[in-house]
Chains A and B, each alone.
Chain A
Amino acid sequence: MATSQAQAQKLAEANPRTARAYGVFFAGWVVPGAGHFMERRWWRGLLVFAAVVVLFSCGLAMGGKVYSPNAGDVLDILGFFGDMGAAGLYALARIAGWGAAPVQIVVADYGTKFVVVAGLLNFIAAVDAHDIALGKKR
């Protein structure tokens, strides 16, 4: 364990770009678009932020459910992982108690999907920012 940590530290020191790329990914995961902002892709970051926040907010406004950590139904577990794709928004929703009401109408079910997809999109955007930081993408 200690050896692998030392190796990881050596690798990070040898290639600071890699270590920074993980930071970019983490920032993008917590705050939508933050990874792109760190890479000075201002418009991309702004658009990612707007798209994810609008989708997440609309989902909540439609009465969508925010999944809590669970070990029950497989779809509920996957829904939780989807929601966690936008970690900052998920934490905000959980702290504020948004999305806790049971889903009773069709539009609310759509809202639940909106929230999950917002998380998944944010995850894709964070990976994209990571690729930019690594120089794999312009």
Chain B
Amino acid sequence: MMMSHFTAVLIFAACVSVVFGITQRSETRAMVKYGLYCFGLFVVGTIAASWAMALIKR
């Protein structure tokens, strides 16, 4: 299966965030909030790191 690197990041972030949310918090609301927080950090962190590497390469 061929997929773009960004699609791979989204799938990875979604799956990891779901498990992190479930395992690291006790209340349903806190699980959802923490899962979304992790997902955001994964995606934003990846985009930031990508831009940093692109700028370093220049």
Contact = CB atoms under 8 A, between A and B. Distances in A.
Given A58-B1, A107-B2, A124-B23, A47 B12 contact: no
A127 B11 CA distance: 23
Contacts of B16: 51, 55, 117, 121
Interface string A121-132: 100110110000
A56 to B, nearest CB: 9
- A-side binding surface: helix, strand, loop or mixed? helix
A40 interface: no
Contacts of A118: 15
A107 B11 contact: no
8 contacts: A47-B18, A52-B15, A55-B12, A55-B16, A114-B8, A117-B12, A124-B23, A137-B26
B19 A61 contact: no
B11 A44 contact: no
A81 B38 CA distance: 25
A72 B3 CA distance: 31
Given A107-B8, A114-B12, A121 B19 contact: yes
Counting chain A CB atoms within 10 Å of each CB, the highest count among B2, B3, B11, B23 belongs to B23
A110 B18 CA distance: 19
Given A61-B1, A107-B2, A55 B23 contact: no
